[in-house]
Amino acid sequence: MDVPDHNTINRFRSGRLKGVLKEVFSTIVKFLVTEGLVSLDRVYTDGTKIESSANRYTFVWGKSISTRISKIAEQLNELWAYAESVTKQELMEETPLLAEDISADKVAQVVDRIDEALRDVDCDKKVKQKVKRVKKAWPEQLKRYEQQEQILDGRGSYSKTDPDATFMRMKEDHMLNGQLKPAFNVQISTNEQFISNYTLHATTADTTTYTEHIEEFKPLYGFYPKESICDAGYGSEENYLYARGKGIKTFIKYNYFHKEQTKKWRTDPFRSSNFYYNSTLNCFYCPMGQPMRFIGRRKQYTKTGFEQEIHIYQAIRCQGCPLRSLCHKSKANRRIEVNHRLNKLKAEEKEKLLSPQGLVHRSQRPQDVEATFGNLKNNKNFKRFLCKGKNKVEVEFGLLAIAHNIAKVAS
CB neighbour class for 289 (10 Å; exposed up to 12, middle 13-18, buried from 19): exposed
Contacts of residue 270, Cβ cutoff 8 Å, sequence gap at least 6: 287, 323, 326, 327, 328
The answer to whether 166 and 156 have CB atoms below 8 angstroms apart is yes
Residue number, 245 or 320, with CB nearest to ligand SF4: 320
Burial of 172 (0-12, 13-18, 19+ CB in 10 A): exposed
- The contacts of residue 25 (CB under 8 Å, 6+ apart) are 198, 220, 398, 401, 402
Between 36 and 289, CB nearer to ligand SF4 = 289
Question: Which residue's CB is nearer to ligand SF4, number 284 or number 385?
Answer: 284
Give whichever of 220 and 327 is closer to ligand SF4, judged by the CB atom. 327
- Nearest distance, CB of residue 329 and ligand SF4, angstroms: 10
Which are the contacts of 198, defined by CB distance < 8 A and separation ≥ 6? 25, 186, 187, 188, 189, 397, 398, 401
Handedness of CA 316, 318, 320, 321 (dihedral sign): positive
Backbone angles phi, psi at 298, to 5 degrees: -140, 155
CB of 319 to ligand SF4, least distance (A): 8
Of 142 and 315, which CB lies nearer to ligand SF4 in the complex structure?
315
CA separation, residue 110 to residues 61, 81, 102, 127 (Å): 27, 12, 11, 15
> Nearer Cβ to ligand SF4, position 152 or 286?
286
Q: Look at strands 227-230 and 249-252 and give their pairing.
A: parallel
Identify which of residues 293 and 352 has a Cβ nearer to ligand SF4 in the complex.
293
Min dist CB 322 to ligand SF4, Å, is: 8
Give least dist CB 287 to ligand SF4, A.
4
Nearer Cβ to ligand SF4 (323/360): 323
Sign of CA dihedral 221, 224, 230, 236: positive
Minimal distance, residue 325 CB to ligand SF4, in Å: 9
Contact 236, 339 (CB under 8 A): no
Judged by beta carbon, residue 15 or residue 322, the one nearer ligand SF4 is 322
Q: Which is nearer to ligand SF4, 63 or 329 (CB)?
A: 329
Helix (H, G, I), strand (E, B) or coil at 165: coil
224 DSSP 8-state letter:
-
CA-to-CA separations, 147 to 150, 153, 341, 382, in angstroms, rounded: 5, 10, 41, 33
3-state secondary structure of 47: strand
- Closest contact distance (angstroms) between CB of 271 and ligand SF4 is 12
Q: Kindly state the smallest distance separating residue 330's Cβ from ligand SF4, in Å.
A: 9
From the CB of 362, what's the least distance to ligand SF4, in Å? 36
Residue 41 C-beta: closest distance to ligand SF4, Å = 48
Give least dist CB 313 to ligand SF4, A: 10
| Burial class for 102, CB neighbours closer than 10 Å (0-12, 13-18, 19+) | buried
CB of 269 to ligand SF4, least distance (A): 8
Report the SS3 class of residue 317.
coil
Q: Which is nearer to ligand SF4, 242 or 275 (CB)?
A: 275
Q: Which residues would be at the binding site for ligand SF4 (CB under 6 A)? A: 286-288, 290, 315, 318, 321, 323-324, 327, 334
CA distance 57 to 149: 19
